[in-house]
Amino acid sequence: MSAPAGLPTGGAGVVTPRVGHGLLGGVLRRGGGGGRRLFGRVRTFLFILLLTGISILAIYPFVWLLSASFKPQGDVFDNRLIPREWQWNYTGDPTPVAGDERLFALPDLPVLSWVWNSVWISLLAAVLVALSSALVAFAFAYFRFPGRGLLFALILATMMLPGAVTMIPVYLIWNELTLITGETGRLAFLPDIGVNTQYPLWVPNLFGSAFYIFLLRQFFLGIPRDLFEAARIDGDSYWTMFRRIAMPLAKPALIVVFIFELQAQWFDLLKPLIYLRDAALYTLPLGLKTILDQQGLGGGGEGRWEIIMAGTVVTVVPMLILFAIFQRYFVEGIATQGRKG
């Protein structure tokens, strides 16, 4: 490529004079200040118009959902964004007359417990996986030990494995634990762990997770080794070094892992579906599916869709709040994924 001699060829912070026709101005992403051409302005306007239209498409389902959750049964599918008639579908009489049930007062369906189950299981699982993955990741980033390369390759390989392959034997392990820790089992003195308890949902997170180990290792590799060496010279143990230096520095990466896992747990339907039998133990996704199956008969106007919509809102909103708080980490975490891949 033949740039005339003496002309700066751009790069970070270097302003390159514009050359060629007006059309080419478009290549400059932060297209210049005052000298912007009419074409650029029209184009920007069209872009904004297009993006606004797409934004409406992106937001519309949320608004539809929210407004439907405030409508009486007959109006759910009227597709009005502002309810013609408002109805509170969330709480109500715990012993309702048939046809007048509310979300948090559904007979036999402890929706409030589901919310609580989802909250504590997601939080616990996310904290555990962040800590355990960090421990393993730190070892792979800092220590040199025989078999390191091989073991790390193994971690990467497990990322490719579809969950379906291990799903059945892992279920059978938990099923076995149910028999052992159940009333007639040899270890009956232990609390019941196994199928139809919530342990299978979070206990695996004690052992780290391949993707998070990979992500955190990348982060630990970016911390200057001198920091650790200095701590060693000061006489810190490896554990202190990990806890006092590595972990605080890795806080942004740990938050990314935390929110990714929180989201994954909040989303998960498959595991609760496999392991939970009693309605009291359900998490929100399984609970919502149960409400849908119970109240959604007929698919159209006959079912109690206003309750289903209220339940969907309760499932969606906590994630929106989480996103509002941790937006930067969501976006940066995702963007990093692409770069490291």
Partner 1 sequence: MATVASTDAPGPPRRARRSLSGFRERETWTAYLFILPWVIGFAALTAGPMVASLYFSFTNYGVEQIAGFAPTERVGLDNYRQLLDDPRIATSLQNTFVYTVMSVPAKMAVALGLAMILARLAHGAGFFRTVFYLPDITPPVAIGILILVLFNGSVGIVNRALEFIGIPGPFWTTDPNWIKPSLAIMSIWTVGGTMVIYLAALKAVPNHLYEAAAMDGAGPWRRFFNVTLPMISPALFFTFIVLTIAGLQTFTEVFTAYFGEGSAGAEDPDAALMNVVYLFRQAFEFFNMGFASAMAWLLFAIIMVITAIQFVVSRRFVFYQGGDER
Query: Do 37 and 22 form a contact (C-beta atoms < 8 A)?
Result: yes
29 or 107: whose CB is closer to partner 1?
29
From the CB of 94, what's the least distance to partner 1, in Å?
23
Asked whether position 325 contacts partner 1 by CB under 8 A, the answer is: no
Pick out residues in 206-235 that bind partner 1 (CB under 8 A): 206-208, 213
Question: Could you tell me the smallest distance in angstroms from the CB atom of residue 97 to partner 1?
Answer: 22
Q: Which distant-in-sequence residues (6+ apart) come within 8 Å of 17 by Cβ?
A: 7
Which of 5, 23, 98, 153 is the binder for partner 1 (CB under 8 A)?
23
Cβ proximity to partner 1, 105 vs 323, nearer residue: 323
Among 1, 5, 38, 97, binds partner 1 (CB under 8 A): 1
Number of Cα atoms under 13 Å in the Cβ half of residue 90: 11
Q: How far apart are CA 228 and CA 200, in angstroms?
A: 37
CA dist 318 and 263 (Å) reads: 10
| List 49, 156, 187, 273, residue binding partner 1 (CB under 8 A) | 273
Nearer to partner 1, 49 or 190 (CB): 49
Give the SS3 label for residue 66. helix
Choose, by CB under 8 A, the member of 270, 277, 280, 325 that binds partner 1: 270
The least CB distance from residue 188 to partner 1, in Å, is 18
Pick the piece of the chain touching partner 1 (CB under 8 A) from 89-97, 106-114, 216-224, 300-308.
300-308
Stretch that binds partner 1, among 88-96, 107-115, 222-230, 323-331 (CB under 8 A): 323-331
Structure-derived torsion over alpha carbons of residues 87, 91, 97, 101, reported in degrees to the nearest 10: 70
d(CA 253, CA 216): 6
Site mask, partner 1, residues 58-77, x = CB under 8 A? xxxxx-xx--x-------xx
Q: Is 240 in the site for partner 1 (CB under 8 A)?
A: no
Q: How far apart are alpha carbons 21 and 177 in whole angstroms?
A: 73
Q: Measured from the CB of residue 251, what is the shortest distance to partner 1 in angstroms? A: 19
H-type alpha helices, the chain: 38-68, 111-142, 148-160, 163-181, 199-202, 210-221, 225-233, 238-241, 247-249, 251-267, 270-275, 284-295, 305-340
Q: Which stretch binds partner 1 (CB under 8 A): 99-107, 119-127, 219-227, 303-311?
A: 303-311
Q: Which residues are within 8 A (CB) of 26 and not within 5 positions of it... i.e. 6 or more apart?
A: 40, 43
Alpha carbons 262 and 254: distance in angstroms, whole number: 12
Whole-number Cα distances in Å, 41 to 18, 25, 32, 38: 17, 12, 12, 5
6 is a site residue for partner 1 (CB under 8 A)? no
Helix (H, G, I), strand (E, B) or coil at 84: coil
In whole angstroms, what is the distance from residue 51 CA to residue 44 CA?
10
CB of 320 to partner 1, least distance (A): 7
Q: How far is the CB of 8 from partner 1 (least distance, A)?
A: 9
* Tokens at 239, concatenated: 């554990």
Interacting residue with partner 1 among 204, 218, 245, 279 (CB under 8 A): 204
**Interface with partner 1 includes 194 (CB under 8 A)?**
no
Stretch 127-186 residues interacting with partner 1 (CB under 8 A): 132, 135-136, 138-140, 143-146, 148, 151, 154-155, 158, 160-173, 175
The smaller minimum CB distance to partner 1, of residues 102 and 241, is found at 241
Of 104 and 272, CB closest to partner 1? 272
